[in-house]
Structure 1
Amino acid sequence: MSITALIFLGIAALAPLPLSLRRVPQWIAPIVAIIAVGVAAITAAASHKVTGFELGATAVLTIAAAAFGGIPLAPAAFRIARRQSDAGEQVAATGPLQGGRIIGILERAAVAGAIVAGWPEGMAIVLAVKGLARYPELREPHASEQFIIGTFASVLWAIAVGGIGRGLFT
């Protein structure tokens, strides 16, 4: 069963690839990633503790699925937030925070790595560094909203995927 969990973690890591093909609807990648992680979680729950090669593969695929599988989730959350604007105003399609995709990949990899390593305090360090680095930009209109939505989407994804990997270790 652990091999099945690893296969579905790999599928979650590759889920954003169809986004590069402009013919594929934007909602497909996040749905595929979420379903793949769900199946990985179910199969990981019924798996034995991994050892040897499976241990290394689990670490690599967990970090890859967290870092790359979460790419379409923040934009999907932004699209949902734009549809449900509180004051009836439209949130800009492109926000004031630049470099968010690369920062998100690094953030998800670091959070999942901290969970897989059994060091959840590492999440606090990652979020503190991100908050301090972005602090000067958060005064622009809608920047704090974009920061919070993107960070929550990324961190929740990384925690879920990192938990699957950690579950296979123990």
Structure 2
Amino acid sequence: MIPSVLAVLYVVLLVLAAAAAAGLSVAAWWRPTPPLVYASVAAVAAALLLSAVPAGDPGFAVDALITVLALAAAIVGGGPAATTALRMATRGSVADGDHGGIIQDGSEVLRGGTAIGLLERLAVAAVIIAGFPEGLAVIVAIKGVGRFTELDAAAPRERFIIGTFASLIWAAACAGIAVLARA
């Protein structure tokens, strides 16, 4: 009887950690302050650690719930995480434009990063959860080709690389929650 109680407790803790990761990611999206971003990072880390514990199959419904929560965290949480990483890296040395890009030689480059980031993280999490990690190469290639003409100066290149890596790492970590929970 005790092992089943522990199994139920484990599943409850895992779902709560995944829900905290998703909830804090959404909160950081709406109010991107460093404490909320750091809290969402901690929640994702906790969910990853819990999902890595080999505890058997929690069942289809729990797997589906954890997958949805992990996808939500992956898609929305990566924006504030990437923004925080960019702020830490640039320390205010790059002027932000009116449309989400940066000012480079009097014009705004790298616009549309929010929409591209949402789609990128959805695609990254989806290919990992679907068990098709080769799709990551396609995603990175498409993003690089799409931004190629804007990457002629050092500041946009640096911002592109830092933002992309932060976003990809975030999405992969969140997708890992779902993948490990199923294993």
Which of 20, 25, 33 matches 2:30? 20
| Structure 2 equivalent of residue 162 of structure 1 | 175
Give the residue type in structure 2 aligned to 1:28: P
CA offset digits 1:88-137 (Å, max 9, x no partner) = xx222442211111211211121111111111001111111111111122
Distance apart, 1:7 and its partner CA: 2.4
Which of 61, 66, 72 matches 1:53? 61
Extract unaligned runs of 5+ from structure 1.
none
TM-score (norm 2): 0.79
User: Structure 1's 73 and 37: CA in aligned 2 closer, same or farther, altered over 3 A?
Assistant: same
| Structure 1 equivalent of residue 51 of structure 2 | 44
Distance in 2 (alpha carbons) for counterparts of 1:112 and 1:79: 24
TM-score (norm 1): 0.85
Distance in 2 (alpha carbons) for counterparts of 1:146 and 1:50: 41
| Structure 2 equivalent of residue 81 of structure 1 | 89
User: Structure 1's 14 and 71: CA in aligned 2 closer, same or farther, altered over 3 A?
Assistant: farther
Distance apart, 1:11 and its partner CA: 2.0
What is the number of equivalent residue pairs in this alignment? 162
Q: In 1, are the aligned partners of 2:63 and 2:178 still within 8 Å (CA)?
A: no
Distance in 1 (alpha carbons) for counterparts of 2:65 and 2:30: 26
Moved more, 2-11 or 56-65: 2-11
1:75-114 maps to which residues of 2 (within 5 A)?
75-83=83-91, 90-94=93-97, 95=102, 96-114=109-127
Distance in 2 (alpha carbons) for counterparts of 1:70 and 1:59: 16
User: Structure 1's 169 and 28: CA in aligned 2 closer, same or farther, altered over 3 A?
Assistant: same
Name the % identity: 37
Distance apart, 1:140 and its partner CA: 4.8
| Structure 2 equivalent of residue 136 of structure 1 | 149
- Runs of 4+ in structure 1 off by over 6 angstroms are none
1:2 aligns with 2:11: yes
Give the residue type in structure 2 aligned to 1:91: V
RMSD: 2.0
Distance in 2 (alpha carbons) for counterparts of 1:13 and 1:129: 27
Distance in 1 (alpha carbons) for counterparts of 2:29 and 2:120: 21
